[in-house]
A and B are shown apart, each in its own frame.
Chain A
Amino acid sequence: MTFGDLTYEAFAFGFFTILTLGGALGVVANRNLVRGAVWLIVSLFGVAGYFVLLSAPFLAAVQVLVYIGAIGILFTFAVMLTRSMTNLNERYNQQWWIAAVTSIALFGMLVLLVILPVFGEQETAVSDVVATTADLGVALVSGDAYVLPFEVASLLLTAAMIGAIVIAREEE
């Protein structure tokens, strides 16, 4: 990749990377959980950007709508609901340095096992013909595609919803 050819794409990629990773760091490394929730939202935005770059506009939209809009807000609410003692805690527990080492090891593993084999091979996509969102819709409800997982997923959501309500309900 030369800098001149793909300037815009590279620049976008770098910007989104900063968002994602920076946001992630902010999530794991702040004292104030509200701010952490906000950093999470920032990171999720970055991921949405990745999706756009990867020609998956539907997923980007879903990411923003669902993840940020629902889950992110959910987290904010949770933070606020469990607020009273949170600010006084230490951020990290006793094993944080082992965790750090392990994380770095994990990263290393991933690099070695996943990335290096494909290093230098897939410079470009196989083809530039990309399936559209309509294809995704068809795939989700098509009998010889993913209709079953789709139904199960809906079931799961229902169950989760009910479950969450049941769990979090006030005892009478």
Chain B
Amino acid sequence: MVPLWMFLTAAAGLFAIGAYGVLSRRNAVAILMSVELMLNAVNINLVAFWRFQTPMDMSGQAFAAFVFVVAAAEAAVGLAIIISVYRGRRSVTVDDVDLLRW
């Protein structure tokens, strides 16, 4: 079977790409999409480690399930916020939301 490190590498790469997207996209929605990617990378890691290290114990999968939940909740709320902001400002460029500026 495919060795563990390959799964981990793939997850790491997914994570890096997601990080790049978070840090460099202008559109808020795109950023959220990149966040989802990162969360998925985490999930892959979790499950890979579960499978290779403690397949008898369900903890790994349970953890991954909870990550799902949180990711979903976060995506929902985040998008709701974006829509609300968009309504007020007519813009979803993150750079425009700089009310916390000095």
The answer to whether A and B touch in the complex, with CB atoms under 8 Å apart, is: yes
Tell me the A residues contacting B by CB distance below 8 Å: 1, 6, 9-10, 13, 17, 20-21, 24-25, 27-28, 33, 36-37, 40, 43-44, 47, 50-51, 53-56, 58-59, 62-63, 66-67, 70-71, 74-75, 77-79, 81-82, 84-86, 89-93, 95-96, 98-100, 102-104, 106-107, 110-111, 114-115, 118-131, 135-136, 138-140, 145-146, 149, 153, 156-157, 159-161, 163-168, 170-171
Are A78 and B79 touching (Cβ within 8 A)? Answer: yes
Are A167 and B68 touching (Cβ within 8 A)? Answer: no
Given known contacts A13-B2, A136-B62, A168-B83, is B36 in contact with A71 (CB within 8 Å)? yes
Are A62 and B65 touching (Cβ within 8 A)? Answer: yes
> Would you list which residues of chain B between 13 and 47 have a CB under 8 Å from chain A?
13-21, 23-30, 32-34, 36-37, 40, 43-44, 47
Are B20 and A28 touching (Cβ within 8 A)? Answer: yes
Are A27 and B33 touching (Cβ within 8 A)? Answer: yes
Are A40 and B68 touching (Cβ within 8 A)? Answer: no
- Decide if the interface of chain A is mainly helix, strand, loop or mixed: helix
Q: Which residues of B contact A107 (CB under 8 A)?
A: 12-13, 15-16
User: B20, B69, B73: which contacts A99 (Cβ < 8 A)?
Assistant: B20
- What is the CA–CA distance of A118 and B5 in the complex, to the nearest angstrom? 7
- What is the CA–CA distance of A127 and B57 in the complex, to the nearest angstrom? 12
A-B contact count (CB 8 A): 274
User: B20, B48, B74: which contacts A103 (Cβ < 8 A)?
Assistant: B20
Smallest beta-carbon distance B90→chain A, Å: 7
Are A1 and B3 touching (Cβ within 8 A)? Answer: yes
- What is the CA–CA distance of A111 and B13 in the complex, to the nearest angstrom? 9
- What is the CA–CA distance of A143 and B15 in the complex, to the nearest angstrom? 34
| Interface-centre pick from B7, B25, B56 (highest chain A CB count, 10 A) | B25
- What is the CA–CA distance of A150 and B81 in the complex, to the nearest angstrom? 26
- What is the CA–CA distance of A26 and B62 in the complex, to the nearest angstrom? 30
The 5 A-B residue pairs whose C-beta atoms are closest, nearest first, are A160-B73, A99-B23, A28-B21, A107-B16, A164-B80
Give 8 CB contacts A-B under 8 Å. A50-B10, A71-B72, A75-B29, A118-B5, A131-B56, A139-B62, A160-B77, A164-B77
